[in-house]
Structure 1
Amino acid sequence: MTTHYVQCTKRGLTKIPAGFPASSTEVSLDRNNISEIYSSSFVGLIYLRVIHLDHSGITTLANNSFIGLLQLKTLYLNNNELQEINRGVFNKLWNLTELHLEYNNIAYIEEGAFSALTSLSTLFLDHNLLISLPQSATNHFFWFLSNIRLGENPWSCSCDVMAEFIPMVMNRSMVISDYSDMFCKETGENANFSMKDVLVKRCTNITSEQVFEMKQFDNWPNILKILVITVAAIILTTFFIIIVICLWRPIVLFTHRKCKCCVRKRYPEDGDKSFDAFLAYSHKDDDYVTREFIPRLENELKYRLCVYYRDFPIGGTIADTVASSINRSKRTILLVSKHFNDHEWRNTAFQHSFGGLFKQKDNHLIIVLLDDAKGMKLDRQLKVLVKSHHVISYRDMCFWEQLQYKMGSSKRSIVRNNTPDLILNHSYTQQQDADGYETPVSSSASNTETDKCRRSLDSINNIYEEIRSSKLSDISLV
């Protein structure tokens, strides 16, 4: 908040001047000759937060002297000639937190003089002529102050007068900063007595039970603090749990990235399958899939993939081949692109194979969006499949971590030839198993083995062209 400071110190003023800017937030009127503060002296200064009226010879404070100052926080009236504080002086100063009345001649405070100061935390009454305090102050008001000064006053040693005051002082000694300077003086005697001496030696009618009861009351602020802290802790804990629930997946992925061996997802239904994943995609996405997707999964992450141009048996129907590939793989990765949606998924046999197999296999299917879903008009059944399974976007910055997390651990490591040409062209040596599937095996670095791999690649490419020419290429599966 902007501060607008008005400086009127040592101006020889005899009364509060008019015409302060309405935006004033702090006014210094100290060290003048203002004997009396009249009612409504500061009317209209609704933003005023601090007033300095110390060292100004003030003797009288009229009722409602500070009326209308709803934002007033600090009031300095110390080092004046005040003799009494009447009930209506501090009316409606609900936000006042600090009141300085030290170094005056105050001998009397009217009952209820501080009752309007509901936010007050600091009160200085030291170096005055007080012999007692109003009962309302000792019974209630003083218990909620955090900084009090009462020293250097001629407090009465009368047990009747001190019946409420002394127990309050004894129990609030921790917040009375000048407690050691508080003494009472018996009329006609020169000796001063500490508050403890008055309680123990002189006023035996003030029982320890009274002090204990006041201590119990004095503990209420601490109890309130404990309650506030407890409620705050519960709220923070609840908020933390909500945050963890909302951010659970990013947290798991981050942990997976830092400690992969500890958090790889495992599913009991995986069993012993021939492949870690069966890859289904559009043949129009061949360039990306064969150059980046497959090498990343097989060479770097050591997963064993079932891909159509390499692992499909020759002569099978589309539905049977897809169904068998799915059953022989722990996962099925569906690479959904505009090409896949517009071509491959339109094949009824292919669509039927997926629709029947994934109703009860939530962990089996991994859907990867290669294009923005908003830009694709997904087929109705494909849209249902996308909505009912976890989807990973290729554009996600944590795409590979998410995919690896969903894939889980691979029980096999595929040993590939490190020859650059072989990796670039994905030419692997293969052998058929009992079911007609071609399983990748390790390749030798020798020239003879390299030639064999290249011949195998040529054979695979010929088969691939035959599949396309026979219109089986409508389903490109990796």
Structure 2
Amino acid sequence: MFLPIPHLQTLDLSESEIKSLDFLMLANLTALRYLKLTDSDISVVNETVFQYLPSLTHLDLRNNPFTCECLNAGFIQWVKSNKQTQVFNAHQYECSFPVSKRGTFLLDFDVKTCWEDGSFLYFISSSCLLFWAFLYDNRKRKTMNPHQFDAFVSYNVHDEDWVYREMLPVLEGQQGWRLCLHHRDFQPGKPIIENITDAIYGSKKTICVISQNYLQSEWCSREIQMASFRLFDEQKDVLILLFLEEIPAHHLSPYYRMRKLVKKRTYLSWPQAAQHPAVFWQNVQRALQTGDSENTDQLTGPAGR
């Protein structure tokens, strides 16, 4: 709808019952200066949207049912720190959810608690990657060699030493798998989101090396979202969860996507393998060898997890 009018400067969608601003990521409204969405149904704002609105100077989101939880931590920080866009009466935006915070103000929510307990919510707020995956060029995917890599390894830079010291010597050196690593195999000059998409769809599997650092990384969240989308889209066993450290269940609570995956799928735990690393790597090998079936009951996480 918006592609024919790329020079649009003013957009008023008030009282439209719109629930999300994410559609603006694909609208190519680079000239948009004034955006009004008052009296709608927006509870969570993904601050990534504003990267796609480089000319935006005025934003009006009054009378929306905002959620005063870590879901909106990024938006709150953006409102307070951005120097280009004036957010009309942002200090008067009231919380509608949760009930315990109803009537308080959105900007009074303490976002520091989101960092302290590891609950900053990139995993469900960065839904632009789901749009990207949905619109990914099917012809390109068909022409890509689906077996270019055996697995794409999604990991945080802080865990890179473990990946190179522990994982690569076994999986590539001993077992002979071809792994895709972003620092080594991403194409220079290509947009990082496109590199992520190509890596995940160009690999038979995705291995997510999960740690506290991983949970708080924006780009890692994008990678697991894309891998999750492929998992549910293709209904194939394409995702391997590898926990690099023990993470209490309550720390996973804010990461809805991650917790849902852990509940429904088997996973591997490196701390549990401390005494028997050879068995651990055999289990990883078995996970990489499984075919396209949905069920992977051969791998199990620690009891009670």
Into which bin does the TM-score normalised by the smaller protein fall? 0.3 to 0.5
TM-score by length of 1: 0.27
Comparing both structures, which one devotes a greater share of its residues to helix?
Answer: 2
Max Rg structure:
1
